[in-house]
Amino acid sequence: MRKTQRGFGIYSEFTDSYGSRIKIQESSSAEKKCCWIFCDNDPNVFKNPSPHLTVAQAKRVMAGLKKFIEAP
Question: Residue ranges per domain, the chain?
Answer: 2-70
Which H or E run includes 9? Answer: strand 9-15
Burial class (CB in 10 A: 0-12, 13-18, 19+), 30: exposed
pLDDT in tens, 1-19: 899 999 999 999 999 888 8
User: What is residue 39's three-state secondary structure?
Assistant: strand
Q: pLDDT confidence of 30, banded at 50, 70, 90? A: confident
Mark out the alpha helices in the chain (DSSP H runs).
Answer: 55-70
pLDDT in tens, 38-72: 998 877 766 777 888 999 999 999 999 999 999 98
Q: What is the pLDDT of residue 62?
A: 96
What is the Cα 2 distance to its own chain's centre? 12
